[in-house]
Homo-oligomer: A and B are copies of this chain.
Amino acid sequence: MPKVDLEALEQTNTTGYPPPFDEPVAGRWQRKVAEAAGLTQLGARHVVLEPGAWSSQRHWHEGEDEFLVMLEGEAVLVEDDGRTLLKAGDMAAWPKGVRNGHHLVNESAAPCRFVAFGGGKNSGGAYSDIDMQFDADGRYLHKDGTPY
């Protein structure tokens, strides 16, 4: 039965970010909804952001497209060119290779919920505001290539 049973899926706030970059995402609770359903051709994470939490460090992907659907609550989308409030029902899309770092920040007093989709092949990317990039194997490196 292809309806996703969200409550049955493990929810985790773990991250591979090295300290102190892990702190802003401690209130990000994720479930891998596409993987749990056996999908292999696209990724989808159901995410709950507690008040104050970030969806990620501000980043972009070299080889992967991203698409986000807000389900409940609101968060501020932060990019190079400013801030945009996203509310329930809003959508946002980021084509691969566009080096305009983005993330969501829950500046409200209530949790927000969204689904984040990814398609394509990871070939690395970088973080706009900190000395960090990731490679095609998902490893975190300084921008000079030194591993964390």
- Chain A contact residues, CB within 8 Å of chain B: 1-4, 6, 33-34, 37-42, 44, 46, 63-65, 67, 69, 71-72, 77, 79, 81-82, 84, 86, 89-96, 98, 100, 102, 113, 115, 117-120
Contacts and interface: CB of A to CB of B under 8 A. Distances in A.
A86 B3 contact: yes
Nearest to A44: B67
Q: State the number of copies, please.
A: 2
A42 B119 contact: yes
Q: Do most interface residues of chain A lie in helix, strand or loop, or is the interface mixed?
A: strand
Nearest to A37: B93
Contacts of A41: 63-65, 96, 119-120
B65 A102 contact: no
B119 A69 contact: no
Contacts of A2: 77, 79, 92-94, 100, 102
Contacts of A89: 71-72, 113
